[in-house]
Amino acid sequence: MTDSERITVYSDYVCPFCYLGRQSLARYQESRDEELDIDWHPFDLRSQKRNPDGSIDFSVDDGKDEDYYEQAKQGVRRLQNRYDVEMKQEIATDVDSLPAQLVSYYLKEHADYETWLAFDESVFEALWQHGKDIGDTELLVELAESVGVDGEEVESALNDETLRSEVREKFGEAQQHGVTGVPTFAYEGYAARGAVPPEQLERLVDGV
């Protein structure tokens, strides 16, 4: 991480509002004179469906029915228009982001900030711009190699049980910090939840 200011962002790659929130954050970042880095913290939207071995049981009822997803899609469409963002899909209920979050967390801890950010953005783009399965190992290797990371590092990270335990702990820490939904942007004790507009992020960080 560099010495520039940081905004904490809790997010999950399979959350369309996290992708849209990052578009909003990018616009706010462009308006600033000083750099604002992202201190990313993973969040698991599939936690209620996840088995002890990390796999997902899609048969588990998490209370999200067709009406819920239709409202979510409508919200995504509104924000797409607001932020002028094209997306291949509006929701991704059949995609597991845990593998991508494992690799992303590994890079956050072991690579430089620019490498992590490039990978992070490539994961969002692969899912929401191209409709690809970000739970696929081959894709994650390809994305990592495109930003200069050795593919074997990615495969090693995906098989690292210690790393998997650390990420699970991070999921728990997010809940302990009161994060119940994503994206959540936090800065010096204050927070904004949802894909809020750039001006709200400006108020959060700059107090104006």
CA distance 94 to 71: 18
Model confidence pLDDT, tens digit, residues 99-146: 999 999 999 999 999 999 999 999 999 999 999 999 999 999 999 999
Q: What's the rounded Cα separation, in Å, for the pair 96 and 208?
A: 38
How far, in whole angstroms, is CA 103 from its chain's centroid? 12
pLDDT at 1: 44
Which CATH architecture best describes the domain 5-206? Answer: 3-Layer(aba) Sandwich (3.40)
- The burial of 13, by beta-carbon neighbours within 10 Å (0-12 exposed, 13-18 middle, 19 or more buried), is given as buried
Q: pLDDT-based confidence at 63, cuts 50/70/90? A: confident
| CB crowding 36-72: b at 16 or more within 10 Å, else e | bbbebbbbbbbeebbeeeeebeeeeeeeeeeeeeeeb
* pLDDT confidence bin for 208, thresholds 50/70/90: low
Q: Which of 115, 144, 113, 139 is nearest to 126 (CA)?
A: 139
What is the C-alpha to C-alpha distance for residues 149 and 151, in angstroms, rounded to an integer? 6
Average pLDDT over residues 168-189: 96
